[in-house]
Amino acid sequence: MKIVVLDGYGLNPGDLSWKGMEALGELTVYDRTSPSELMERSEGAEALITNKTLITAENMEALPDLKYIGVLATGYNVVDIEAAKARGIVVTNIPAYSTSSVAQMVFAHILNITQRVGHYAEENSKGRWTNNADFCYWDTDLVELDGKKMGIVGFGNIGQATARIAQAFGMEVLLYTSKEQSALPQGMRKVALDELFAESDVISLHCPLTPDTKEMVNAERLKLMKPGAILVNTGRGPLVNEQDLADALNEGRIAAAGLDVLPIEPANADNPLLGAKNCFITPHIAWATKEARTRLMQIAVQNLKSYQEGYIINNVAK
């Protein structure tokens, strides 16, 4: 089997091994593949492995040997699924590999905002504490999480992990979820979406991107939030209207935002959030701990191995 990895660098910049996949066939790994390079590199391949490289219906039609597409992520919108179904091409994804890492990043953002550890460490490296008149100093609000309300939008694997951490910090958990109250863990309360935005001290987004959830965080919802509230998005960038959030931050209508995802990645230079007040942006790395990437690699190999052995797992093109 000829296997081509179109953009392997994001998963494996050099600290993991492709040996598991090499054992399954003739493997070629490219760090990145541009649209103009896609067809030449994919010629004769039975299996294409992609992370962010788009594979369209036209691509599939021009690749008669293609039988399998492995997506190196949970989301699979980079592949035209309907076209794959029509051509009998199997498309697999990688579910639930980064739950703990993403939930950890949620609280990395929250703790950065409430304690500003990086800010004070940098100030001290410049000598500020050494030259301080008192035994301590602070120039930001320092916020205790215990007793605060944590609003979680979406209660899948990551939402559930985030909720457990919130409870460990002593936070009251409010949920916007399709699940019934009776099915929720003890101490977690189901509420309407606008109620969640109005009551929560911290809001974390973990819902899928759909026409209904696109830009669910907009000027109207931001007006519902408390002036001291924090918004965290490690889910999908388009859940948030960027200009509306930038305006709310710059005008001091909410306290801060911690974002790991944006609608366009890498960020455009004119993105209003890059210069917004109290907006802390990380470059889509919540998923990228070595532990999570190791699991991703293992699942990707198992997906392809299972296909070769005649039973298909994690198929999203059924």
> What are the residue numbers of the active site?
236, 265, 284
Judged on CB neighbours under 10 Å (0-12, 13-18, 19+), 270 is: exposed
Q: 277 with 252: CB under 8 angstroms?
A: yes
Given the structure tokens 């909720």, which residue do they identify?
A: 163
| β pairing state of 149-153 and 172-176 | parallel
Using the 8-state DSSP alphabet, how is residue 167 labeled? Answer: H
| Cβ partners under 8 Å of residue 300, min gap 6 | 11, 21, 49, 70, 72, 94
Q: Could you tell me the two tokens for 173?
A: 């958990």
Given the structure tokens 């293992």, which residue do they identify?
A: 298
Q: Could you tell me the two tokens for 95?
A: 């579910």
Closest-CA residue to 259 (of 283, 238, 275, 241): 283
